[in-house]
């Protein structure tokens, strides 16, 4: 394998790793957001039992 390809693969893995790191953060934040949203719905008492546990998929 030539040097240029090695470098391209290295950069590929760097970009992939960065994306996966951010994706993990996003998923964690989204879980917190859904929890807060559920708390708000319960506080507003809208939707009753039907909407309990409803999550918003981004």
Partner 1 sequence: MREKKSQDNSLSIQKVSILEKISSYFKALFHKKPKIEPQKELTEIEKSKNNFWKNIKLEEKLEDQELLELQRKVATKEINIEDLEIEEIKRLTELYKRQTERIVRKIEEVEAEAEIINMKISRLKGENIE
Q: Residue 57: count other Cβ atoms within 10 Å of its Cβ.
A: 5
CA distance 51 to 40: 12
- 9 touching partner 1, by CB under 8 A: yes
- 46 touching partner 1, by CB under 8 A: no
State the nearest-atom distance from the C-beta of 46 to partner 1, in Å.
11
The H or E element that residue 9 is part of is helix 3-44
Binding site residues, partner 1, CB under 8 A: 1, 4-5, 8-9, 11-12, 15-16, 18-19, 22-23, 25-26, 29-30, 32-33, 36-37, 39-40, 43-44, 58
């Amino acid at each position: 394998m030539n040097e240029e390809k090695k470098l391209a693969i290295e950069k590929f893995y760097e970009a992939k790793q960065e994306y996966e790191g951010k994706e993990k953060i996003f998923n964690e934040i989204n879980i917190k957001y859904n929890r807060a949203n559920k708390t708000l719905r319960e506080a507003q008492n809208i939707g009753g039992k039907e909407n309990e546990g409803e999550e918003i998929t981004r």
